Amino acid sequence: METQGFQKIYTKIKDITKATVTVNASDVGNDELASVGGRPAQVVRINGTEVTLQVFAGTEGISTDSEVIFYGEPPKLKVGDGLAGNIFDAFGRPLYGNVDFDGEEREIGGPTVNPYKRKQPSEFIPTGIAGIDLNNALVSGQKIPFFADPDQPYNQVMAMVALRAKADKIILGGMGLTNDDFLYFKNVFDNAGALDRIVFFVNTTENPPVERLLVPDMALTAAEYFAVDKGEKVLVLLTDMTLYADALAIVSNRMDQIPSKDSMPGSLYSDLSKIYEKAVQLPNGGSITIIAVTTLNGGDITHAVPDNTGYITEGQLFLRNDSDTGKVIVDPFRSLSRLKQLVIGKKTREDHPQVMNAAVRLYADAAGAKTKLENGFDLSDYDQRALKFAHDYSEELLSIDVNIDVNKMLDIAWQLFAKYFTQSEVAIKADLVEKYWPKAQ
């Protein structure tokens, strides 16, 4: 964003609000980038010769004679193979030193893929976490968020998923990431020797919040380069989308827009879907899979951010502390992967769908037994066994510290069935029971 010869400079700012300035200028395009008193800004409204700019870092100290320079183009990102292994800020500028590589500049927030050109997602992404692979299998080209309260270790789980997912590239978009979490991600990827296939775009809590709005588009422009141009399998991690939505609310408020539910802008659904719908399975074999984090307030999913997200994404993963085992588990009731039926039992072992359903049903029976116990009713023998099963199931399968392949998960499930239940209680199709029910030692 260096100053170039043909750029016009304006020095008469008319209005200044906390986030925007207005200046009289001509021949300015919508969405165009500019600098206001040396700070990056973007055109958000044109009214006659009056141009309103959103100043990302805020307008503190901007004076009416500050220089406004228009760059004549929307935000761009230089894409190339050299992106990999580097860390950038929200404007796509390298965070450490000078990063030089061959590539071309591309506008961020580009057009959408023609729905007719999409392929149906069909590739299973194993993560080693049974709460995901067994009950909520992920599929390439899927978009799915973690719904988690701020105290839950969602960033750790996401880093784990990213490393195990066998993606060609991992692109991390950090929005309002604490510096500690940012360093955590960096160290984890570094230790795993994966840094060279990772691209970071980071806005930490130390940076102005409005800058965050550029992060998902930057991350996805990089992702599209690797997936579309190179045919690679790209995993995009976005954390935390709730903070992204907060930044949207700030801007829309400053632009005098009428807020809708939970003070969020009326366009929240469209704003979020523009990001999530970039997830795609391409005809050339490349794919973009998006795993995001939406933090909740006390588990409330009716808030506008998780609510709109749920309507857009293909399922959601809930993390929960399990009081029986003291571990963090992936909640089998509230979590859902809408695309799982495209792979389970097809790309995984044939007994996968039935085992998954049976285990969740038995786990639900245990939950019923627990309620009975709490209400002071007597437990039947079946209830007792269900409770024991639930404990083992939670510890050996649902817990997020489990790391095994999907066949092993299925074997463990069968062993637990055999340990606590009869074949008719498990009620799985006879031919599968015949084949997989553990033989008595």
Partner 1 sequence: MKTTGQVTGVTSNLVTIKVDGPVSQNEICYITVGGSRLMAEVIKVNGDKASAQVFESTRGLKMGSPVEFEGHMLEVTLGPGILSKIYDGLQNNLASLDSLFLERGVYNDPLDYNSSWEFTPIAKVGDTVEAASWLGAVPEKFIEHKIMVPFSFKGTYKVKSIVDKGTYKITDTVAVLTDEEGHDHEVSMIQKWPVKEAVTAYRDKPRPSRVMSTGLRAIDTFNPIAEGGTGFIPGPFGAGKTVLQHAISRQADADVILVVACGERANEVVEIFVEFPELDDPHTGHKLIERTTIICNTSNMPVAAREASVYTGMAIGEYYRSMGLKVLILADSTSRWAQALREMSNRLEELPGPDAFPMDLSAIISNFYSRAGLVNLVGGGTGSVTFIGTVSPAGGNLKEPVTESTKKAARCFYALSQQRADSKRYPAIDPLDSYSKYLEYPEIEEYLEANFEKGWTAKVKTAKTIVQRGKEAYEQINILGDDGVPVNYHDRYWKSELIDFCFLQQDSFDQIDANCSLERQRYMFALLMDICAENFAHKDFEDCSVFYKELINLIRQMNYSQFDSPQFKEYDAKVRKAVADRPKEA
Site for partner 1, rule CB under 8 A: 26-32, 44-49, 74, 107, 109-121, 141, 228, 257-261, 266-267, 269-270, 273-274, 276-278, 280, 282-283, 302-304, 307-308, 310-312, 314, 333, 336, 339, 341, 377
| Residue placing its CB nearer to partner 1 in the complex, 177 or 355 | 355
The distance in angstroms from the start CA to the end CA of the chain is 71
Residue 378 C-beta: closest distance to partner 1, Å: 11
| Cβ neighbours for 421, distance < 8 A, ≥ 6 positions apart | 362, 385, 389
Residue 29 C-beta: closest distance to partner 1, Å: 4
Residue 42 C-beta: closest distance to partner 1, Å: 11
Residue 115 C-beta: closest distance to partner 1, Å: 5
Residue 178 C-beta: closest distance to partner 1, Å: 29
The two tokens of residue 237 are 């991690």
Helix (H) or strand (E) holding 250: helix 241-254
| Residue placing its CB nearer to partner 1 in the complex, 338 or 388 | 338
Q: Phi, psi at residue 410, to the nearest 5°?
A: -65, -40
Residue 164 C-beta: closest distance to partner 1, Å: 24
Residue 74 C-beta: closest distance to partner 1, Å: 5
Residue 215 to residue 243: CA distance in whole angstroms: 12
The two tokens of residue 137 are 């299998």
Helix (H) or strand (E) holding 319: strand 315-322
Residue 388 to residue 434: CA distance in whole angstroms: 24
Residue 30 C-beta: closest distance to partner 1, Å: 4
| Residue placing its CB nearer to partner 1 in the complex, 170 or 280 | 280
3-class DSSP state for residue 234? Answer: strand
| Residue placing its CB nearer to partner 1 in the complex, 277 or 322 | 277
| Residue placing its CB nearer to partner 1 in the complex, 46 or 95 | 46
| Cβ neighbours for 26, distance < 8 A, ≥ 6 positions apart | 49
The two tokens of residue 144 are 């799915």
| Residue placing its CB nearer to partner 1 in the complex, 37 or 173 | 173
Residue 258 C-beta: closest distance to partner 1, Å: 5
- In angstroms, the Cα distances linking 181 to 154, 258, 362, 397 are 11, 34, 37, 27
| Residue placing its CB nearer to partner 1 in the complex, 277 or 396 | 277
| Residue placing its CB nearer to partner 1 in the complex, 204 or 242 | 242
Q: Phi, psi at residue 335, to the nearest 5°?
A: -80, 150
- Give a three-class secondary structure readout of 383-432: HHHHHHHHHHHHHHHHECCCCCCHHHHHHHHHHHHHHHCCHHHHCCCHHH
| Cβ neighbours for 111, distance < 8 A, ≥ 6 positions apart | none
Residue 361 C-beta: closest distance to partner 1, Å: 9
| Residue placing its CB nearer to partner 1 in the complex, 110 or 153 | 110
- In angstroms, the Cα distances linking 173 to 155, 167, 302 are 12, 16, 25
| Residue placing its CB nearer to partner 1 in the complex, 37 or 286 | 286
Pure H helices in 255-351: 268-276, 304-312
What number of CA atoms fall less than 13 Å from residue 364's CA on the CB side?
10
